[in-house]
Amino acid sequence: MKENRRALARVAGVLGPDSRLALVGGWVRDHLLGREAGDMDLATALMPEEVMRRGRAAGLKALPTGLQHGTVTLLVEGQPFEITTFRGDGDYADGRHPDSVRLGVTLEEDLARRDFTINAMAILVDSMEAADPYRHLVDPFDGRGDLERGLIRAVGDPLQRFAEDGLRSLRACRFASQLSFALEPDTFQAIGQRLEVAAKVSVERVLVELTKLLTGADPKAGLQLLADSGLLDLWTPELRPMIGCGQNRHHKFPVWEHTLETVALAPADPALRWAALLHDVGKPATRSVDEGGAVHFYGHEALSLGITVLIFQRLKASQALTREVLALVRHHGTHPTEEWSDGACRRLLRKLAEDSLGLEQWGRFRLADQVAKGFGEEPSRSEHEKVMARLRALAEARPPLASNALALDGRALIALAAKRGGPWVGQLQHHLLDVVIEDPTQNTPAELTRRARAWLKEQSSPAVE
């Protein structure tokens, strides 16, 4: 941070006092909140060409990284500083991008085009060394007051601002989660009235915003805002039936409330939070009530998997995220008990390994899901710890969990059978793996040879009808 400040002072010096170089937007917001501030957003009264010229004249590297938006990058001590000329936006015909940008406006006009009051403040870099830099805070919309009140409020008329750019509706809910803020009522109302504009946001941006919302500090509030405003239905209509769907005796809370609770309890990791959101999405459609009045959700895991695939395809999620979330959803209903044999526990370890899902990651999800069932944190936690201690101990013994851990490899099996390789090799390996997972002491060449011979003999004898 110190080096940052020094390099920043150098940029300000190079550009000169008439540049009115200012920190703006998210950086100012996070700095005032005492949060770790992300990228520095810098703005200046100078035209981009002039920023390049002054930078180069001082021996700095200057790159025209976004001239169409008025952005230039200066490199100082190897560090990039993105500097954007004060700009106003033209009309937004497509609900996504301004048709044109006007450079050469005042700082106040630049702040007026920003989305929320808390994102529409600036600190002039030259004033930062002053005893009270906030005396120099440029804050035309009382963003500081809204920071103190914990409010997300649109700059200007929210109906118009959400009509210009649909992304803002999502950003509002995302900031509510990240900052644990509320939406100012008119701002909230406007979201519901501009859904058709939000619907135009590219799915790539939607995925980024939803993931930020899910991994925020208060994802329950963020998700509830999506549901209450109607944004939820634009990209994930499959979630709506969870609201109001009652559960069975294994749960204290209805499906939606349990889902929100699971999301909030899961560590703030994208895969864990997405899995928490989607693990029970198959419940409403599989809900049944038997003659005794008991509620069941037969096959809900499989349906949750199918819906997860559908949603992730729609949002163009990466293979890596999809794979991990599917693995978490697939195995969320498996609950080893004390009655389980070691072999059964190892079979679970094998399934997790086949899905490249680490035991600890599986455990993190399970703990959240179990506690969210609402039967007391302590009992759930201690039951979970027992399950994990046993699985960890079994895993630490490094049992064979895949064919490549068998004491006989594929080539040895082919030699043993004295016939050409084919699908039978995989089937035999599968069989041998079943044997050694049940009892790892069987994983020796001699024992596997004996087992393999028996299996081959059985295969070659005619099938009995």
Binding residues vs Mg ion (CB under 5 A): 26, 38-39
Query: Which of 263, 323, 310, 261 is closest to 282 using CA atoms?
Result: 310
**Token output for 416:** 């043993």
Q: Which is nearer to Mg ion, 30 or 438 (CB)?
A: 30
Element at 235 (helix H, strand E): helix 232-235
Q: Which is nearer to ligand ATP, 34 or 423 (CB)?
A: 34
Query: Is 41 among the residues that bind ligand ATP (CB under 6 A)?
Result: yes
Q: Which is nearer to Mg ion, 30 or 233 (CB)?
A: 30
Minimum separation from the CB atom of position 175 to ligand ATP (A): 8
* Binder among 15, 21, 25, 232 for ligand ATP (CB under 6 A): 25
Query: Is 168 among the residues that bind ligand ATP (CB under 6 A)?
Result: yes
Query: Is 70 among the residues that bind ligand ATP (CB under 6 A)?
Result: no
Minimum separation from the CB atom of position 145 to Mg ion (A): 21
Instruction: Centre a 10 Å sphere on the Cβ of residue 61 and count the other Cβ atoms it contains.
Output: 12
Contact predicate 416/452, CB 8 Å: yes
* Binder among 6, 17, 18, 38 for ligand ATP (CB under 6 A): 38
Task: Give residue 33's Cα distance to chain centre.
Answer: 23
What is the DSSP secondary-structure string of 436-457?
Answer: HHH-GGG-SHHHHHHHHHHHHH
Q: Which is nearer to Mg ion, 30 or 447 (CB)?
A: 30
Task: Give residue 201's Cα distance to chain centre.
Answer: 18
| Residue 168 binding result from ligand ATP, Mg ion, none, given CB thresholds of 5 to 8 Å by partner type | ligand ATP
Query: Is 194 among the residues that bind ligand ATP (CB under 6 A)?
Result: no
**Token output for 110:** 């630049």
| Residue 71 binding result from Mg ion, ligand ATP, none, given CB thresholds of 5 to 8 Å by partner type | none
Burial (CB < 10 A; 0-12, 13-18, 19+), residue 272, is buried
Minimum separation from the CB atom of position 214 to ligand ATP (A): 14
Query: Is 90 among the residues that bind ligand ATP (CB under 6 A)?
Result: no
Query: Which of 70, 79, 64, 83 is closest to 12 using CA atoms?
Result: 83
d(C-alpha 103, C-alpha 283), whole Å:
53
Minimum separation from the CB atom of position 81 to ligand ATP (A): 14
Alpha helices in 123-184 (DSSP H): 143-149, 158-164, 167-179
Please name every residue paired with 312 in a beta bridge, in sequence order, or none if there are none.
Answer: none
Query: Is 167 among the residues that bind ligand ATP (CB under 6 A)?
Result: yes
Minimum separation from the CB atom of position 174 to ligand ATP (A): 8
Contact predicate 406/432, CB 8 Å: yes
Element at 244 (helix H, strand E): none
Q: Which is nearer to Mg ion, 42 or 437 (CB)?
A: 42
| Residue 379 binding result from ligand ATP, Mg ion, none, given CB thresholds of 5 to 8 Å by partner type | none
Query: Is 191 among the residues that bind ligand ATP (CB under 6 A)?
Result: no
Write the interaction track for ligand ATP spanning residues 388-417; mark x where CB under 6 A is met and - where it is not. ------------------------------
* Binder among 110, 139, 146, 165 for ligand ATP (CB under 6 A): 165
| Residue 434 binding result from ligand ATP, Mg ion, none, given CB thresholds of 5 to 8 Å by partner type | none
**Token output for 312:** 């992730």
Minimum separation from the CB atom of position 298 to Mg ion (A): 46
Minimum separation from the CB atom of position 401 to Mg ion (A): 43
Q: What angle do CA 131, 137, 142 make, to 5 degrees?
A: 140
Minimum separation from the CB atom of position 19 to ligand ATP (A): 19
Query: Is 215 among the residues that bind ligand ATP (CB under 6 A)?
Result: no
Query: Is 219 among the residues that bind ligand ATP (CB under 6 A)?
Result: no
Query: Is 211 among the residues that bind ligand ATP (CB under 6 A)?
Result: no
Minimum separation from the CB atom of position 213 to Mg ion (A): 15
d(C-alpha 162, C-alpha 197), whole Å:
7
**Token output for 284:** 């409403």
- Residue type (1 letter), 424: W
d(C-alpha 91, C-alpha 67), whole Å:
19
* Binder among 110, 115, 280, 301 for ligand ATP (CB under 6 A): 115
**Token output for 142:** 């009382």
Report how many residues bind ligand ATP under the rule CB under 6 A.
12
Q: Which is nearer to Mg ion, 194 or 212 (CB)?
A: 212
Backbone angles phi and psi of 83, in degrees to 5:
-125, 125
Minimum separation from the CB atom of position 178 to ligand ATP (A): 7
d(C-alpha 454, C-alpha 445), whole Å:
14
**Token output for 374:** 């609402």
**Token output for 289:** 């009530």
**Token output for 105:** 């406006």
Minimum separation from the CB atom of position 27 to Mg ion (A): 7
Query: Is 114 among the residues that bind ligand ATP (CB under 6 A)?
Result: yes
Query: Is 12 among the residues that bind ligand ATP (CB under 6 A)?
Result: no
- Interaction site with ligand ATP (CB under 6 A): 25-26, 38-39, 41, 114-115, 119-120, 165, 167-168
